[in-house]
Structure 1
Amino acid sequence: MAVPVAQPATVSLRACLALLALGVGARLVLALGTDIYFDEAYYWQWARHLAWGYYDHPPLIAWLIAAVGVRPAALLCGVGTVAAVWGLARDVHGSREAAWRAAALWSVVPAGTMAGVWATPDSPLLLFWALALWALWRERWVLAGLASGLALLSKYPGVLLAVAFLATAVRMRRLPAGAWVTALLGAGLFLPVVLWNAQREWVGFAFQLRHGLGGTGGLASFAEFLGGQLALGGPVLLPLTLVYAVRGPREQFLLRAAAVVPLLFFGYAALRTRGEANWPAAAYVAACVGVAGMRPVWFRAATLSGLAIILAVGSHLLFPLLRFERDVPLARTHGWSVLSALAEPERLFPGTDARSVAVVYAPSYQLASQAVRYAGVTADTAGGGRMSQYDLWPRPEVARGQDALWYSEGREPPEELTARFTTVEGPVELPADFRGRRVHTFLVWRLRDAR
């Protein structure tokens, strides 16, 4: 049975515009009211070393940050995705009213809001996924190839849109000749990333396979995945997505496949490893278009539940009232500016000559990137943390007699590092507060006189 279509006058244009305004306002306030968090700082580091690939992801987010800046890259991609969803829904439903409903719904999907505020590979992925899906729907094969290639240059899961298209071709028993143009263009744009990986023992592909399908999973990690989708997709939008995928109109099979393929793939991955809730975010692009054609009561429920999550989380990030033992969202988005003190080691360790400090070491790529972003120092990782782009870049040189700093949130400098220096001083505490909350307690050690 097909999903019932809403009457155009039932959900007013004024209500949709209000939701769009709230979505844009929330993005701007969060972008201006939070610190650059560590993943953004990491991609900003990439933007200072432009290449065709990086250890973790393809390069497009780095190129965008280099062109327009960190938060502008996310905001522009977010606005572009809303516009692409509007255009896709207009063509799918043949109705401007449905287009406004779809755009309004997407503007309050928590996963889409995150990608429209904080610059990650999801930001361009969602934009070019939506554009590619729109072009495939209209059978504009050249545009589809360009958008698909840019989606792949954003994030490797962009290939899942090709899976959805092939599933549609099998279902409809039709593979248009123009689809080969799309495939060739998309593959051509992605080819430099393949060559970059080939020259580096396929490190990017191997990492993503281990990260996405390796490790220890099971029912517990799947339950975490499901909880993440209820939060980032929405407690109403997620079940509606599944309903649309199973019972949506036959002629919308491409969109139904584009909604369900990412959820199925990453749901399976969650049984293999502990993943991230944002991984299937692209599924909700097609879902919003589909829900725009459902009964108005479901559209209202989906938009209001998504908006409630955005307002609740956003207000907590800006004006926290509740206290949590481990407030991860608050720690990710505040308190990083105190790291500017790493640029002035004489304040932390009196008598230190700042010119003698060659490098700041940290146990992770996140902390190393934040040191570069907020202190403008040379930074590197040490201590056997997860491999990252820092392991592919040349290691900073520390000449004999020079000093270094080590900072972390509780972890002492590893022996492999301290053995390279004559003495170790510290730690000195570097606390970070936000609105009366202690969000970080950084500890800094001075490593003196390199051997």
Structure 2
Amino acid sequence: MSYAGSPTRSQLPPADPSPAPPRFAAGPVAVVLVAAVAALLATAGRYGYHRDELYFRVAGRHLDWGYVDQPPLVPLLGRLTTAVLGDGLTAFRVPAALLTALTVLLAALIARELGGAATGQVLAAVAVAASPYVLATGHLLHTQTAVLAVGAAVCWAAVRALRSADRRWWLVVGALTGVGVYASYLILLLVGVLLVSLLVTRTFAPLRSPWPWAGAGLAAVLAAPALGWQVAHGWPQWTMADRISEGNEGQWLETLFYQFVLAGPLLFPVAVAGLVGLLRRPGWRPVRAMAVAYPLMLALVVLAGGNSYYPGPFLVVLLAAGGVVAADWAARAVWRRALLALAVAASVVLSALFSLPLLPERVVADSGLDELNETAAEQIGWPGLVERTAEVYRSLPETDRARAYVLAWNYGEAGALDRYGAEHGLPRAYSGHNSYLGWGEPEPGRDVVVAVGVPEEVARAWFTRCEVKAHVDPGEGVDNEEQGKPIAVCAGPRVPWSEMAHVS
């Protein structure tokens, strides 16, 4: 029954399932963001390029809707940065620092959506900024850096959509998903896991609305060029996924251990507290699918042999929720606040030492950090590799040098030769690795080859004559992927350029 002048049920505004979020702690969160960006930029020029960065730097000169092994966003960022700021290491990594700041900001916004006041928001921001995983990815311009930021944005928008009566937020989720495909195809798996988590937690109400499906349509439209490139080229990303799975086969224990490392030993309890809080707090019931999404994603990674960092965006959500829980826990006693402050401070120091290039290169090797943090080891030794290659090239007779080109086994070597080779007088480097194969082939008549890193058995199959002249040594005792690789002089190709392709 309704009375004259009173609204009917259909006219009443829908009830918001949660109260309005508290005020955003813009000032304190901004301090955390500035500190994180300052730390990343201050250390950006140490050690050297990572092998993937060397690859992205060249890929940016061959822009396309996709590549054999990745979407185009990170190469595009690398090209834009180089064009604006110059071809330097610190400049190249500016987008990574900004993307990391975005990830930290989103953690604070997620904490706010969960009802966290200023302390909870700041703790969420600090916990994410101090995560070894976030710092390590923020130091490099890498697909992980981009997908972590975009994935965190998708999670924030999803939390907002689940809490709000305004289902149009699912359009934001869809738009971010469509854009995120250009950072990594992993974003589709993240959204798929989130959808399954909604079903597992019986959160059916959003799925009865047309807005999530409209968001899915928007995502498909935005992602169409990147997905269309994959279709046109026979889905090479599936080949890459198979290679990754083969490489990670049987490493499930390492994957589980690395979740502890990625969050940080002292911050892992904060992530656990966030997981428990999302499952048990009545006020967080609308978003408890976020708690299910992380272990579900982790299970998929273990079963499919994915990389240990794939659940990263969901880990950001757990740390953000844990910041709210930790703030509530610490508010009850002075000793708790002191203990939490000590744990956070220690985490910041330990994570910085582990993830950022603060230690001398020799210490990295002697301490074994190069084995635990492979990204640190893969930043060391590239100029030396190029110098050793140049020595072999200069040892050739002048007539051979005029007919020579450099063949690199992998894109890291090819990228290093592209970056540093000209200053040593080296000819252009080519490679058949991943997308490098399509970026040019040696000119006819160049039949003397300085082969860098090519396995001896492969070199002998590709050429009639090969002689190893030197071996790669990154120096400083660092044992990375390039250590001991041969640098050979070969001649007489047996196979055409197209058969020198390989994907890994």
For normalisation by structure 2, the TM-score amounts to 0.73
**Could you tell which deviates more after superposition, 313-322 or 357-366?**
313-322
Matching residue of 2:284:
252
The answer to whether the 8 A contact 1:55-1:204 is kept is: yes
Matching residue of 1:290:
321
In structure 1, C-alpha distance between the alignment counterparts of 2:263 and 2:274, rounded to whole Å:
14
The answer to whether the 8 A contact 2:62-2:439 is kept is: no
Matching residue of 1:63:
76
The answer to whether the 8 A contact 2:179-2:222 is kept is: yes
In structure 2, C-alpha distance between the alignment counterparts of 1:280 and 1:448, rounded to whole Å:
47
Q: Give the match's secondary structure for 2:416.
A: helix
Matching residue of 2:231:
198
**Could you tell which deviates more after superposition, 238-247 or 124-133?**
238-247
What code does the residue aligned with 1:417 have?
Answer: W
**Could you tell which deviates more after superposition, 296-305 or 358-367?**
296-305
Gaps of 5+ in 1: 1-7
Q: Structure 1 residues 408, 52: CA separation in 2 closer, same or farther (over 3 Å shift)?
A: same
> How far apart are residue 402 of structure 1 and its match?
3.6
Matching residue of 2:44:
31
Matching residue of 1:3:
none
Structure 1 residues 395-422: Cα deviation after superposition (integer angstroms, max 9, x where no partner):
5134235422111298576212322xxx
Gaps of 5+ in 2: 1-21, 83-91, 162-168, 331-335, 495-504
Q: Pick from 429, 442, 445: which aligns with 2:488?
A: 445
In structure 2, C-alpha distance between the alignment counterparts of 1:250 and 1:66, rounded to whole Å:
48
What code does the residue aligned with 1:181 have?
Answer: A
Q: Give the match's secondary structure for 2:487.
A: strand
In structure 1, C-alpha distance between the alignment counterparts of 2:312 and 2:403, rounded to whole Å:
42
The answer to whether the 8 A contact 1:168-1:253 is kept is: no
**Could you tell which deviates more after superposition, 49-58 or 199-208?**
199-208
Q: Find out whether 1:403 has 2:448 as its counterpart.
A: yes
> How far apart are residue 162 of structure 1 and its match?
4.3
In structure 2, C-alpha distance between the alignment counterparts of 1:85 and 1:216, rounded to whole Å:
29
What code does the residue aligned with 1:109 have?
Answer: S
User: What aligned pairs does 1:118-129 form with structure 2 within 5 A after superposition?
Assistant: 118-129=140-151
In structure 2, C-alpha distance between the alignment counterparts of 1:321 and 1:443, rounded to whole Å:
26
In structure 1, C-alpha distance between the alignment counterparts of 2:399 and 2:389, rounded to whole Å:
11
Matching residue of 2:309:
278
User: What aligned pairs does 1:41-80 form with structure 2 within 5 A after superposition?
Assistant: 41-69=54-82, 70-80=92-102
Matching residue of 1:131:
153
In structure 2, C-alpha distance between the alignment counterparts of 1:418 and 1:168, rounded to whole Å:
57
The answer to whether the 8 A contact 1:39-1:366 is kept is: yes
In structure 1, C-alpha distance between the alignment counterparts of 2:408 and 2:127, rounded to whole Å:
41
> How far apart are residue 299 of structure 1 and its match?
5.5
> How far apart are residue 38 of structure 1 and its match?
0.5
**Could you tell which deviates more after superposition, 370-379 or 60-69?**
370-379
Structure 1 residues 113-160: Cα deviation after superposition (integer angstroms, max 9, x where no partner):
122110111112121222222223333233322222122221122121
Matching residue of 2:18:
none
Matching residue of 1:5:
none
In structure 2, C-alpha distance between the alignment counterparts of 1:142 and 1:373, rounded to whole Å:
42
Structure 1 residues 307-326: Cα deviation after superposition (integer angstroms, max 9, x where no partner):
24323323664464361579
Q: Pick from 157, 164, 184: which aligns with 1:155?
A: 184
What code does the residue aligned with 1:146 have?
Answer: A
Matching residue of 2:88:
none
Q: Pick from 351, 360, 382: which aligns with 1:336?
A: 382
Q: Find out whether 1:269 has 2:301 as its counterpart.
A: yes
Q: Find out whether 1:207 has 2:250 as its counterpart.
A: no
Q: Give the match's secondary structure for 1:368.
A: helix
Give the fraction of aligned pairs with identical amino acids, expressed as a percent: 22
Matching residue of 2:10:
none
Structure 1 residues 426-446: Cα deviation after superposition (integer angstroms, max 9, x where no partner):
413554434x86875564222
What code does the residue aligned with 1:173 have?
Answer: F
For normalisation by structure 1, the TM-score amounts to 0.81
> How far apart are residue 107 of structure 1 and its match?
0.8
What code does the residue aligned with 2:350 have?
Answer: I
In structure 2, C-alpha distance between the alignment counterparts of 1:150 and 1:398, rounded to whole Å:
38
